[in-house]
Structure 1
Amino acid sequence: MSQSLIFDMDGTLFQTDKILEISLEDTFNYLRSVDKWDSVTPIDKYREIMGVPLPKVWETLLPNHSNEVREQTDAYFLERLIENIRNGKGALYPNVKEVFSYLKENNCSIYIASNGLTEYLKAIVSYYDLDNWVTETFSIQQIESLNKSDLVQSIIKKFGITNGAVVGDRLSDINAAKENGLVSIGCNFDFAQEDELSQADMVINHLVELQTILPRLSR
């Protein structure tokens, strides 16, 4: 039976931490330069909430700032992320392309569902040629509710998916699988949290493990 795997991007396929800190530092340096920030860059706070939609990120990191400032900050941060991706400062997790090739050879359809913004995702997919394997990449921007479960549901409806899994490192990915009748595969990677992973159907420590568990995904 053919399988469909829906992957998260940040912290699952893409090692976001490699560009996160420098992009966030660039952004808060900008805020300091316009007298909108006068403290250290809140990198630890960002890591705690990694995986939530960006509007919620800025509500958390800039709780006392106006929506206008948050939107300006969001736009600047996106510019820095994309530039750092295009400059090769990021990286995929080990074996992403090898695993994708294996999945395609074994009649699997591959999709990406991310809380990242559309232009950011395009930059990653383009730089690493992921379109060679990925059927389509979906951004949370495409869903009014900004809910990962709704985003996954839209993919299921568009492609008539009846069998497969959601692969991701955070609770939003696990819930997106469960609420849509798919298997949840938790990734014990950089931003994962033990209490969240405990709710997944399966947990992997390396993407290459997908090759051994693929036969178990049929229900």
Structure 2
Amino acid sequence: MTQSLIFDMDGTLFQTDKILELSLNDAFSHLRSLNKWDEETPIDKYREIIGVPLPKVWETLLPNHSNEEREQMDAYFLERLVENISEGKGALYPNVKEVFSYLKENNSSIYIASNGLTEYLKAIVSYYHLDEWVTETFSIQQIQSLNKSDLVQSIIKKYCITNGAVVGDRLSDINATKDNGLVSIGCNFDFAREDELSQADIVIDDLNELQTILPKLKK
């Protein structure tokens, strides 16, 4: 039986914090140059909400700005993220490529479902050549509801998935798994929270652990 694994991107495959502060500082420096921000870059606040769709990020970080200003900030931030990724300033988590190779060798299908925007995800997949293993990468932009459960459901429907797991670090990943009847594998990485991980079926501290977990899931 083919095993399908749907991976989150930020905080699961990609070490977002490597470029997060850099890109956010770039964006808020730009806002300061326009005289529309006079405080420090709200890095800590962003860390608290990382993983939510970007429109909600800007509602939180820029509560007193107009929707137009938030959209402009969103576009500039995305531009900085993509450029920083393309310059090699980011990093995958340890063992991503090794685990992907193992999964493909063992007849598993790999997908990515992320709250990140399409261009951002393309930049990561392209720079690290992830499409060598990943069947398809899905962005929350493809779902009108901006709900990760709906995004995972769309993957299941498109590829007729009947057996599989969702691998991610946040509650949105765990809920998306439960809503779609799959196994939830929580990643105890940088942005994970203990109270959220406690709701996952399995918790791992390193992606390498998937090599021992996968055979058990197939039984």
Question: Do they fold alike, i.e. is TM over 0.5?
Answer: yes
SS in structure 1 at match of 2:151 = helix
Amino acid at match of 1:153: Q
Partner of 1:98: 98
Instruction: Report Cα offsets for 1:130-153 as digits up to 9, x if no partner.
Output: 000000000000000000000000
Partner of 2:211: 211
Runs of 4+ aligned structure 1 residues displaced above 3 Å come to none
Aligned ranges for residues 1-219 of structure 1 at < 5 Å?
1-218=1-218
Amino acid at match of 1:123: A
2: CA distance between counterparts of 1:200 and 1:95? Answer: 21
SS in structure 1 at match of 2:35 = coil
Instruction: Report Cα offsets for 1:43-83 as digits up to 9, x if no partner.
Output: 00000001000000000000010000000000000000000
Aligned length: 219
2: CA distance between counterparts of 1:106 and 1:13? Answer: 20
- Gaps of at least 5 residues in structure 1 are none
Identity %: 85
Q: CA deviation at 1:218?
A: 3.4
Instruction: Report Cα offsets for 1:79-109 as digits up to 9, x if no partner.
Output: 0000000000000000100000000000000
Give TM-score, length-normalised by structure 2: 0.99
Give TM-score, length-normalised by structure 1: 0.99
SS in structure 2 at match of 1:111 = strand
- Gaps of at least 5 residues in structure 2 are none
Q: CA deviation at 1:2?
A: 1.1
Amino acid at match of 2:104: K
Amino acid at match of 1:63: P
Q: CA deviation at 1:154?
A: 0.1
Instruction: Report Cα offsets for 1:123-179 as digits up to 9, x if no partner.
Output: 000000000000000000000000000000000000000000000000000000110
Provide the alpha-carbon RMSD of the alignment. Answer: 0.6
Amino acid at match of 1:109: S
Amino acid at match of 1:166: V
2: CA distance between counterparts of 1:36 and 1:99? Answer: 45
SS in structure 2 at match of 1:14 = coil
Amino acid at match of 1:71: E
SS in structure 2 at match of 1:6 = strand
SS in structure 2 at match of 1:92 = coil
1: CA distance between counterparts of 2:168 and 2:95? Answer: 15
